[in-house]
Every structure is written in structure tokens, then in C-alpha cells.
Chain A
Amino acid sequence: MVGMARAGKSEKFVNAREMGVVACRRCTKAWPLGVATCGRCGHTLVSRDHLSLHRVWAFWVLGVACYIPANIFPMLNTRTLFLNEESTIISGAVELAQYGNLGIALIILFASVVIPLSKFWAVAFLAVSVRQQRVISTRFRQVLYEVVEYIGRWSMIDIFVVAILSALVQLKTLASISPGLASIFFALSVIFTMLSAQAFDPRMIWDVQGKDGGPRRDE
């Protein structure tokens, strides 16, 4: 690992913004403040995206709104010789647990309930906390942001399972599985929350530091 020299003479970290520089978030090239698009990659340059919080909240609300019907409507319709049953996300997982597949039930519950709910909480927490002057451990919020960015996609697992099952289990009269209405809402919810997390500008996490009484070193 190469330690690069900090720009500026002190031991403190210097934000590009304070140097009159705006950096491209796609390709990291530095430009003078005020340049509108990156001359290298063509990405739009915004030193601090103050509209980004509006986008975060807009997608967040859509994500939550889609998550509710996703849990009410059935996710899977299973038709076997004798019965025709509809299961929601949670009832499907409970059934799996009752049949003894505890591990898979936990994966499904984790991917479809724990991850989305904690993502809603985490994105809201990040968006609220940049507004507060009080410094809530920046390191913690940075880690939270990275986890949210990384883990959000994995919620799609349940959608893929539904898709696979409905294609696979088409055994004429014996058994067949088809996707329920909830699958669309759930997919939309995952997509909206991913967009919400992507709209968040992580540089704002570190700005609060600068505002109240000089940068604080976290190491």
C-alpha cells in the first residue's frame, strides 16, 4: 500500500471542495470548482449534490410503498393434485421451516425481510444524520453506507427463486407453481431502494466533520 501525501501542508485531511476543486465521482479526476462536466469521462460534476437528498427520499418512499403490498399479496401460487395454495413471503418461509429446511427459511427471511427493512432504516438514518450538526461517528456511517451499497442487490434472490420455481415446476396435472402479484411489488421495492442508496452522496458524511470545529481524526 502506498500512502499518498495529503494535499495541504498540515496533517489534516483536506476536502477537495475547500481547495476550490471538484472531483469527478466516476473517474476521480480533479477540476476547478464550477466546471459542469468532467472533460475526461463526461460525467456531470457536482461538488455537493444538495438535491441528492430529495432523490434519496423520493426513491425511499417509493421503495417502502412497494414493500407493503409485497408482503400482503401472495408471492407464489402452488397448485398440486389436491390443493391450491397461495403463500406470501413470510408464510412461505415459515412453511419451509416447518418442513425442516430451517437454513433455507433463514436465507429467505434474511434476504426478503431483514435486508430490506434494515436497508430502509439505514438509508433513512444516513439521510437524516447528514443534516445534524452533531457528529455521529463518521466511521460508523461510512461502513453503514458501504454495507448498504453492497448488500442491497442480494434482496433480488427471492425474485429469482420465484422465477426459477415457476419455470421449473410445470408438471402438467401433478404440480405447478406460478408467481403472485407480490413478486412485482417486491422487485420494484428492491430496485427503488437500490436507486435510493445510489442517489446518496457519501461525501456529505464527511462534511459534517469540517463544519463543527475542524476536522476530527478517526484513526
Chain B
Amino acid sequence: MKDTLDMQAPAGLDDLIVCPQCDAAYRLKRPGHGERAICQRCHKVLISPRKDAGLRIIAVAFAVLFLILGAAVFPFLTIDAAGNRNAVSVLDAAFAFTGGSLLLLSLAALALIILIPLVRVLLILYVLLPLVLDRPAARHAIPAFRLSEALRPWSMAEIFAIGCAVALVKVTDLANVGFGPAFWMFGLLVVLGIAQDSFMCRWSVWHALENPKNS
């Protein structure tokens, strides 16, 4: 690799983008709206700017915010067996196991289904709202966005939606079960989550946080 030594000039570092997954280095060339820059070695998407992405993400984030709150409070499944009716919301489910060590399990479930997605959406709003409104970045916006990225794999609302469907089938021979409004909210959350991921170009957000004027 002797032919790369001349690239070591420190001034060139800003023109460099490195794939976080395979460490391949590229000279930065910003793609236009709708285009994507992809690592040619491991095919990770490095930059994928979309037109008005910030506005769309914020719109989706508000929708997600209200859906999460609704999904926590409204019942997601109702059961009816020989006159005994029971409708449960996520909050009910979380506090179902209150006995001893199972309490830990319920707190973990509540965190994964509601709290972490909620925190993420609030952090995203906090970081992106000033950027989209052309204001200076919010205080501590950088650690906030970093936290939101770190929480990404732990936000499991969509897995819970599938869990609802499985649970429904499991008890159909025991009793009459039906989906409550919160189930459909979780379904929508799944779709919105995918939409948000496709609009969100992390590189652009970091870049905008670093150079507020260019955003």
C-alpha cells in the first residue's frame, strides 16, 4: 500500500469518508437528492440524502409520538370467554407480573416496547427541529443524537406487533379474542418506523450538526 502514503496529508481528512463497517476509505463526493453513496466493498449505504428529508422525518416523528402514547393506553387485545371480558393495554401487560423477580421482566418489556421508542422519537425531534427551522442546533444536540442512534436496536415496537398476532392465535381455542385499537396503532408504527429509517440520512444529520450554516 505504498501508493497511499501521499494521502496522509492531514488537510485531506475532511474530504475523506470511511465506511464504518469495513474501514474502506473514499474521497468524499456528496450525492444529490435521491442518490445514494454506497461502500463498494461491503455495500453499506454511507450517504443517502432525500429532498425535504428533515421535514418528513419530523412529520413522521409527531405521528409516531401520538401513536406510541395511544398504543400504550388503549387496549390491544380483548378477550371474551363465558361472560368474562378482559381488555388489556400495554400498561396492563407490563404490570401483569408484579411478583418479585418477574417485575424486572415487565419493566424490561415496558422499556423495549414503549419507553425506548418514545425517548428516541423525542430525541429526534429535539435534534432535527432546530436544524429544519434553520436555527442554531439545540443544546447538547450531538450527545442527544448519539443516544438516539445507540438506542436504535433496542426499540422493539414492531416485534411486539407480531407478538400480538401470535398471542391471538395461541388463545383462540381458549376464548374469543379480538384486536383492540392499539394493535392497529402498533401496525402503523411498524410502517412509520420503516419510512423514518428510509428518510433518515445519518451522515447528513452529523454534517449539519457540525456545520450549522450549511444545513
Which residues of A come within 8 Å of B, CB atoms? 1-10, 12-21, 23-32, 40-43, 80, 96, 99, 101, 104, 107-108, 142, 149, 152-154, 156-161, 163-172, 174-175, 178-179, 183-184, 187, 194, 198, 202-203, 205-207, 210, 218-219
Contact = CB atoms under 8 A, between A and B. Distances in A.
Contact of A157 (B21, B142, B162): B162
Given A2-B31, A169-B175, A28 B18 contact: yes
B188 interface: no
Contact of B23 (A16, A32, A158, A168): A16
Given A2-B36, A41-B146, A174-B84, A18 B4 contact: yes
Contacts of B18: 16, 21, 23, 28, 30
B25 A165 contact: no
A168 B89 CA distance: 9
Contacts of B16: 7, 16, 21, 30
Size bracket of the B interface: 35 or more
Contacts of B22: 142, 202-203, 205-206
A218 B19 CA distance: 17
A121 B143 CA distance: 35
A17 B4 CA distance: 11
Contacts of A28: 17-20, 46, 203, 206
Interface of B: 1, 3-4, 7-8, 10, 13-14, 16-29, 31-32, 35-38, 40-42, 46, 76-77, 79, 81-82, 84, 86, 88, 92-94, 96-97, 101-102, 104-106, 108-109, 112-113, 142-143, 145-146, 149, 153-154, 156, 159-160, 162-164, 166-167, 169-171, 173-175, 177, 202-203, 206, 209-210
